Amino acid sequence: MSQLQKSIFIIFIILLIDQIVKIYIKTHFYYGESINILGLDWAQLRFVENNGMAWGTEFGGKTGKLFLTIFRLFAIIGIGFWLVSSIKKNAPKKLLFAIALIFAGALGNIIDSVFYGLIFNTPGGFEVATLFAGDNYSTLFHGKVVDMFYFPFIKNGVFPSWFPFVGDQTFTFFNAIFNVADFAISCGVGILIVFNKTVFPKEEKITLE
């Protein structure tokens, strides 16, 4: 199997898992519903949707959402070119694996942003969404990204009183809710950081004596 085939296989598997999990959560959980994983209080499946960037950041309403989705599309094209170029240059396998993870994660969330508004409805209360219901909740490029993994290892923690700005305030760690695509991107970036010297080897300088 060539490196290109391996990369495509990795991307396909991550996309498949990502979309299966998202569609299951969307069609079996009402918005905001959560259950403990294996009975653990600090490991939960919690259905939320992200209408913007990381940590739920939003800007510019529908226009901002459209701009963000288009930006993601251009970004994924750039990552794709990076992957193909790296394969042609016989780049280290760790680099190819990391790029494939980032590409798959980015594409997984783009699918939500581009298509989910068209293929899902969004009922209120304790009802779950329906796939291809006909009464879609938005238009092309205006879908919301489905998130579900929540690991609040520390709940109701309190900052020491001497801590600047937030002393005596409560906090939760880890309070981000993410999906398979986000996890793939984080792993890819982590590989690039941890194995920086091996994935980006410096060219040896030739000196003439």
31: left (phi over 0), alpha (psi -120 to 50) or beta: beta
Residue 135 annotated to the active site: no
Contact 143, 66 (CB under 8 A): no
Cα distances (Å, whole numbers) of residue 154 to 42, 45, 48, 164, 174: 8, 16, 20, 20, 7
Angstrom distance (rounded) from CA 10 to CA 103: 10
Task: Select from 118, 133, 126, 151 the least CA-distant residue to 31.
Answer: 126
Residue 41 annotated to the active site: no
- Catalytic residue from among 41, 112, 135, 147: 147
Catalytic residue annotation: 147, 182
